């Protein structure tokens, strides 16, 4: 792994830095977990897209710049270092889009990806159900064959962004007689404003609706919105979750920027010696995660797959994110308890990290069994 950037990569970094310096809003946008903030972040996605910065690694025909994974990492570092807004489109860009590139038809990619890149259509993730979270194969929501498509029935829950999003993606049981739970599932995209869809927002600890329940009653989905072969949705879904647990959802640029902000906070607060080691750990952790990610990127570039090692990634960033925000709140003291600023909101969001994208308990089982070769634990 060569950590030295090429002249071309240095030039790309300079171009990205200059654009962000000229365009990042001077004042933070309202929380994207509110209607006002969601609209403001959608407008920011459109501004990014207008100069093809919203999806730099995508092919140009879909609104990207066609850059490789190393330039994508460089852009992410610059993006977060500039204090740019959180990405309201991340479910679509980081989860659905890689799935479409790997498994969709040319028609689906041409129809779905440009509006995703521009923020015109924001996507929600509809995986979990009341009795199917980490054990996703036990889901019970169905898709029943009808003329020209499918009718959805059932309930999804903890659907990220669904309170304000336009469309959603998930898997549904299409063959209830399949011999195994993970068989007979189909991967579908559907409109959250279609007849038969009821969206019920779920408030976080701060009351903002970061998630929602979806109730589906004979919701029609045309055949053109089925991704891959009907009944083979599990294999496609595992492709999506691999991206979710891997590097795309939590790029190292995000943590490098947060660790630097934490260091500034520590100095502003009088360099409290009681938390000095925790601040140092945050800086070391961000740098270690960056190097780990570049190592994985090198493997991608060499044509290798990450597979079960994405579970290592997921456990690390989810626990790191909580520890970093807890340190910041301890430095803020009473101010941290009452402030509605980015540290407080970031902390509330970080609490969900060990749960979503597959709980950390499940990830540790995967690490034990598939990477370390240990016996299966009790389920």
Cite the active site residues: 244
Taking the C-alpha atoms of residue 345 and residue 337, their distance in angstroms, rounded to an integer, is 11
Q: Which positions ≥6 away from 260 have C-beta within 8 Å? A: 81, 283
Do 30 and 37 contact (CB within 8 A), yes or no? yes
Q: Both ends of the chain: CA-CA distance in Å? A: 39
Place of tokens 């072969």: 229
Name 212's Cβ contacts closer than 8 Å, sequence gap at least 6: 124, 159, 162, 163, 199, 200, 201, 202
Burial class of residue 260 in the structure, from the number of CB atoms within 10 Å of its CB (0-12 exposed, 13-18 middle, 19+ buried):
middle
What is the rounded distance in angstroms from the CA atom of residue 281 to the CA atom of residue 356? 24
Cα–Cα distance, 157 to 130 (Å, whole number): 6
Nearest to 315 by CA among 254, 379, 256, 250: 250
133 vs 135: CA distance, rounded Å: 5
**Residue 185 DSSP class:** E
Which two structure tokens, joined as six digits, stand for 376?
């299966």
Q: How far apart are CA 335 and CA 331, in angstroms?
A: 9
Contact 114, 80 (CB under 8 A): no
Cβ atoms within 10 A of the Cβ of 288, count?
Answer: 14
- Provide CB contacts within 8 A for 51, sequence distance 6+: 19
Beta carbons within 8 Å of 308's beta carbon, 6+ residues apart: 366, 367, 370, 371
Is the separation of the CB atoms in 143 and 186 below 8 Å? yes
| H helix runs in 308-378, sequence order | 310-332, 334-338, 342-350, 360-366
Distance of alpha carbon 252 from the chain centroid: 13
């Amino acid at each position: 792994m060569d950590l030295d950037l090429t002249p071309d990569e240095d030039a790309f970094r300079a171009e990205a830095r200059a654009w962000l310096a000229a365009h990042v809003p001077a004042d933070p946008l309202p929380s994207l977990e509110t209607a006002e903030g969601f609209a403001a972040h959608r407008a920011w996605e459109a501004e990014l897209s207008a100069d093809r910065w919203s999806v730099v690694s995508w092919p140009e025909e879909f609104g990207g710049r066609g850059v490789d994974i190393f330039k994508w990492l460089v852009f992410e570092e610059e993006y977060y270092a500039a204090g740019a807004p959180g990405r309201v489109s991340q479910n679509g860009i980081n989860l659905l889009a890689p799935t479409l590139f790997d498994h969709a038809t040319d028609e689906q990619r041409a129809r779905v990806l440009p509006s995703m890149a521009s923020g015109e259509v924001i996507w929600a993730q509809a995986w979990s159900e009341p009795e199917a979270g980490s054990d996703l194969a036990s889901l019970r929501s169905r898709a029943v064959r009808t003329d020209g498509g499918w009718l959805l029935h059932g309930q999804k829950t903890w659907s990220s962004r669904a309170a304000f999003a336009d469309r959603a993606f998930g898997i549904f049981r299409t063959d209830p007689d399949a011999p195994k739970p993970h068989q007979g599932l189909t991967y579908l995209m559907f409109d959250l404003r279609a007849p038969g869809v009821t969206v019920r927002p779920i408030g976080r600890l701060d009351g903002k609706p970061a998630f929602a329940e979806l109730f589906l009653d004979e919701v029609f989905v045309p055949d053109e919105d089925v991704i891959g072969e009907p009944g083979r949705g599990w294999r496609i879904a595992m492709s999506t979750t691999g991206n979710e647990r891997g590097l795309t959802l939590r790029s190292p640029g995000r943590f490098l920027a947060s660790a630097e902000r934490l260091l500034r906070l520590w100095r502003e607060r009088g360099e409290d010696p009681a938390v000095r080691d925790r601040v140092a750990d945050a800086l070391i952790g961000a740098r270690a995660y960056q190097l780990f990610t570049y190592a994985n990127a090198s493997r991608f570039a060499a044509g290798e797959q990450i597979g079960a090692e994405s579970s290592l990634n997921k456990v690390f960033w989810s626990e790191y994110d909580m520890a970093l925000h807890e340190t910041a709140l301890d430095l803020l003291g009473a101010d941290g308890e009452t402030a509605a600023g980015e540290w407080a909101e970031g902390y509330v969001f970080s609490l969900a990290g060990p749960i979503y994208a597959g709980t950390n308990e499940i990830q540790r089982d995967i690490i034990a069994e598939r990477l370390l070769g240990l016996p299966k634990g009790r389920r």
